[in-house]
Structure 1
């Protein structure tokens, strides 16, 4: 029997399928990629059905499923004697972002903590007791403290059995239990009964997901030291990294609008409440059919955010910002306001400029100009107080905060005097819109951006109105509309003027739908990422013999002595090509995160 290979349909059925199967093929092998392709195409399946849908044997399928479940790329659910498997894209996100995750942890916590995170990502999870047993007694204390720090900061979470279960199956199980315990009565309609069961199940689901995360279930205290329970197993918390990505996107928006130093102040604000900020993927929104109304969805997200504000978990004080600022930040002379500038001419209360009068001294000689200036400066010293002595003074920080709160897009909201929060829900759409406008400007040109902004502002508009608004020729507007329509950023609506819908009497209106535009961009960027990964795999395959030769133990470290000049040249070209492609991959991946994840 010939070995199974990944079918062309894995690439063509959807951009996400193309990306995830390519990623799985490079990290986990072709068998795992085939299993993932089948689960994406056919949905919830048993091992037997996966085997029948592919050319894999049942043993190969089960072997691949073990590693995929371990990495949480596939979730399972048991019903009677059957076990059903479901693909989970968040497991693939852990593989996709793994390099960036390790780099970020290394920059914040150091090499040892980065090594812990890398081990967790490679194995899916680690048992704390077994992991510490591989260290000497001297190293155990340091490693335990680093594990505790990562756990308390939210980067690690306790592994629970329900982490391997599909959320929809968990919901269905809890809902059926609640419905059984909700009796039918003559005075209660079936609709009301279902609504009551649904409301109770939501509470049960939250309790079910929070089970086992209480500190007393995770930690114990021995000799005054906090330690993990021996049976605790930890895994990487992807939601925590997504919060970091959101903060990074918000800081980028502030940087483009206010400049570098204000963005550094805002970055410090984000770091103070990042861990407690709302999750990007809320459980109720991941269950299909639970929340269908957009208004109900906004209300649910808003209630989560307002609850965190009411409990002060996402509120920070301005006096906390200096300790969160980087040590190399100097805010002196960064604010140009009345309090931080050398005054010019004095202005009277009525708004007129006061004219300096010439004063004669007792001996009849005029007063020197320098003396007059010194007196004026002394008089003005109370009006113009400078606070440039401290590089991170509260007065300087408060001026930056005032910029952030009073702009057309408020990046901060003041709760009480001196206390602020970040309106994540409101800022989410502004981040995407800013990146979309930047993308249109750099790829399609300034005129295309003007036309797009006009359509965004006027909602539904015809070609002539666009031309009059943006002050461009009709021909130019037509060309820009053609580009935007090709990119699926603008939609066309046909408006017939006659009952027979005659083409001569028909005119067209244009509109921009942000959600569909972001979805299209996300899919296009996922396809580009898959193409880059395929390109890397292809040129590695073309030079497979040379790369296998370089991987031999007797060749490692002695390449210049044992390889031919032509082989060394090819090896350098391969390394440069891979670096260029990886750079492209990370740039495209960041845009996909903005439009598809945030």
Structure 2
């Protein structure tokens, strides 16, 4: 994959930030400052040693580290026995989202899941048993050891010795995963001193890991994942060619060859998803696992894999796993869309929309697909036919703390257009410029209502109107008590009432101009991610254009985006602006790369007065330029951060001492502490700017 220089520099800085200088050398040699693998494409060890000024041993060590973290693909030619390496720029850029990923995992799956994901980010792909052991040693509370002596609390250590396959004693200095944070420094001050604290149990770690694998956040690793999708497809085609010794000629033989290649690629996809499917099936066949559990941080688990899932992982301890950034990107997209909906329709309806996305997310494993994406038959069917969920499924994913009776406006029946409110659209909306087609398409249906669970006999008992239906609120709602409790413990009538109220929020989302939700069938709902993300891109572009060129520039851009190419004589009348002002503004925007102009001469003389100038908005070209500018800004922020660290290196060295960490205010002198606070403030600003720029990149490219 070809990337720009700014993107290559950004990947090198991110790898250097998280994994050190040696792995990043494979991305960024001393001269030129463009990433070696990204700039030169495929390279072997000898070429990398030549271009990075390192010896082959150092190059191999750096390649081993980046392959461990899926930052580099490799391909071995069996005829020449030569291995070539190719950079994985997507995985390298995903490192900038580490903080966001950990945050969304913490809120959705809990603290232990976040710690497991963090461990995988540090270790790369690792065996399940080794990951569980490392997690318990790292995150379990430890007793302090005075003057470096080992802790001989046998009762405390016995719990780990029963589970440790390698026979390492807890706190053994020979353990490579252990650190010295539980030792006491020379002045006798103990860090992390805890008494009688129960360590993390292996069963809890296995169950949480099984839940993450079943949800797709963590995936099992097979040998084919170390090849790029292009190389993998070429290898499959080469193997299939052996079945056709006479070559692939003719329509019939070509069809057979393509069918064989597709079946082999699907088999590879099935192999990759074997562990995930096994854990999902165990969750489906265990009724106790389907009930969603409330996590310690207030979030809700997704119901995937319970005790049986942990036992499955225990039986296969040598399974290698790694973090699946594609699924994490889906979670980040859901969070971004929920924030977008909240800006338009309010908090309660946005929480219902988040529940809808959570139920859809169980069947959506990546944001984007291309011709090289490897999918199973289930994923392929989901991709082409779409994902739809019922109101019951959405209600099961709704947090019990959400009061669905709030956030709904009041209206009488005569004020509601039932033809528009209950419209069922079988097909997604079509993008037309910056607006979506809102008319009734061919094949769409109009029904009175598909809410069969609600009893309309009691509609006129009370006079309150809720979103077009003559509903009523019970006493709990009238006295201010939230209806959102434990769904499973409420009566049938209360559940039916909450389902009806939740459905009103879904109808609000479906009736909105942005069409956040599509009512696609009887009691079925879906989200058209393509048009919705397109709207997000237009919102970000409009904000950017208005900040740089004012309201007039935004007006001209919207006109060109909706109408297409327009000449410079028609545009002033449509924009209600003077012709000189239009020319000045258009020239300014053309120099910035937001608009393009095409010259069409009327004769061969090509005189200016005999030439038509057509202005147009090239969305793809504009996005490419905006993305490159975002990469450049992120590179400058990270480089500035390195300069600030170098300037404050003495202060940071003092603050990194183990007897100072967490006690900077009382351990550091006044002047040093003030310098430390200044650096922390600068670091927050720079990293916050990088995070905002990553939001733009996500909307413009990854979602």
Structure-2-length-normalised TM-score: 0.70
Q: Contact (CA 8 Å) 1:26, 1:537: kept in 2 or not?
A: no
Equivalent residue of 1:489, what SS? coil
Write the distance in 2 (CA, Å) between the matches of 1:548 and 1:381: 66
- Is residue 2:349 matched to residue 1:262? yes
Write the distance in 2 (CA, Å) between the matches of 1:45 and 1:279: 29
Cα distance per residue 1:20-72 (max 9 Å; x no partner): 11212222333322311110111011010111122122121111111110011
Change (3 A) 1:236 1:471: same
Cα distance per residue 1:158-216 (max 9 Å; x no partner): 1111111122111111112223323548xx84576456533431332121232153249
Equivalent residue of 1:226, what SS? helix
Q: Contact (CA 8 Å) 1:277, 1:308: kept in 2 or not?
A: no
Deviation at 1:595, TM superposition (A): 0.6
| 1:370 matched residue in structure 2 | none
| 2:16 matched residue in structure 1 | 25
- Is residue 2:338 matched to residue 1:338? no
Write the distance in 1 (CA, Å) between the matches of 2:276 and 2:578: 70
| 2:273 matched residue in structure 1 | 213
Deviation at 1:266, TM superposition (A): 1.2
Q: Contact (CA 8 Å) 1:278, 1:305: kept in 2 or not?
A: no
| 1:116 matched residue in structure 2 | 116
Q: Aligned to 1:253, which of 330, 333, 340? A: 340
- Is residue 2:564 matched to residue 1:467? no
Q: Contact (CA 8 Å) 2:360, 2:388: kept in 1 or not?
A: yes
Cα distance per residue 1:83-134 (max 9 Å; x no partner): 1111001321342211111111111222211111100111112211223345
Write the distance in 2 (CA, Å) between the matches of 1:223 and 1:491: 60
Equivalent residue of 2:470, what SS? coil
Q: Contact (CA 8 Å) 1:340, 1:387: kept in 2 or not?
A: no
| 1:152 matched residue in structure 2 | 214
Write the distance in 2 (CA, Å) between the matches of 1:486 and 1:526: 20
Q: Aligned to 2:696, which of 578, 591, 594? A: 591
| 2:594 matched residue in structure 1 | 489
Write the distance in 2 (CA, Å) between the matches of 1:399 and 1:582: 40
Write the distance in 2 (CA, Å) between the matches of 1:306 and 1:100: 26
Q: Aligned to 1:385, which of 470, 476, 482? A: 470
Equivalent residue of 1:234, what SS? strand
Write the distance in 1 (CA, Å) between the matches of 2:125 and 2:696: 29
Write the distance in 1 (CA, Å) between the matches of 2:666 and 2:274: 59
Write the distance in 1 (CA, Å) between the matches of 2:464 and 2:4: 72
| 2:49 matched residue in structure 1 | 51
Change (3 A) 1:165 1:473: same
Equivalent residue of 2:201, what SS? helix
Cα distance per residue 1:143-162 (max 9 Å; x no partner): 11111111111111111111
More helix by share: 1
- Is residue 2:234 matched to residue 1:172? yes
Q: Contact (CA 8 Å) 1:342, 1:384: kept in 2 or not?
A: no
The equivalences for 1:191-210 within 5 A come to: 193-194=253-254, 196-210=256-270
Deviation at 1:519, TM superposition (A): 1.8
The equivalences for 1:560-571 within 5 A come to: 560=665, 563-571=668-676
Deviation at 1:479, TM superposition (A): 3.5
| 1:79 matched residue in structure 2 | 77
Between 502-511 and 533-542, report the one with greater CA deviation: 502-511
Deviation at 1:339, TM superposition (A): 4.7
Deviation at 1:76, TM superposition (A): 1.0
Equivalent residue of 2:239, what SS? helix
Write the distance in 1 (CA, Å) between the matches of 2:464 and 2:658: 74
Q: Aligned to 1:418, which of 500, 515, 523? A: 523
Change (3 A) 1:183 1:324: same
Change (3 A) 1:449 1:501: same
Q: Contact (CA 8 Å) 1:317, 1:420: kept in 2 or not?
A: yes
* Unmatched 5+ stretches in structure 2: 28-34, 137-159, 164-199, 283-305, 417-459, 478-482, 485-497
Write the distance in 2 (CA, Å) between the matches of 1:546 and 1:424: 48
Q: Contact (CA 8 Å) 2:125, 2:322: kept in 1 or not?
A: yes
Equivalent residue of 1:76, what SS? strand
Between 334-343 and 99-108, report the one with greater CA deviation: 334-343
Change (3 A) 1:56 1:384: closer
Deviation at 1:275, TM superposition (A): 2.7
- Is residue 2:656 matched to residue 1:551? yes
Cα distance per residue 1:440-474 (max 9 Å; x no partner): 23443222211111001110012232221121222
Change (3 A) 1:414 1:582: same
Write the distance in 2 (CA, Å) between the matches of 1:69 and 1:337: 58
Between 333-342 and 263-272, report the one with greater CA deviation: 333-342
Change (3 A) 1:421 1:557: closer
Equivalent residue of 1:415, what SS? strand
Change (3 A) 1:231 1:308: farther
Write the distance in 1 (CA, Å) between the matches of 2:604 and 2:97: 55
Q: Aligned to 2:5, which of 6, 14, 26? A: 14
Cα distance per residue 1:281-309 (max 9 Å; x no partner): 4362469xxxxxxxxxxxx9x97546454
Write the distance in 2 (CA, Å) between the matches of 1:278 and 1:142: 25
Change (3 A) 1:96 1:316: same
Change (3 A) 1:332 1:379: closer
Between 193-202 and 458-467, report the one with greater CA deviation: 193-202
Write the distance in 2 (CA, Å) between the matches of 1:165 and 1:94: 18
Deviation at 1:597, TM superposition (A): 1.0
RMSD: 3.3
| 1:40 matched residue in structure 2 | 38
Deviation at 1:528, TM superposition (A): 1.2
Write the distance in 1 (CA, Å) between the matches of 2:413 and 2:644: 58
- Is residue 2:609 matched to residue 1:513? no
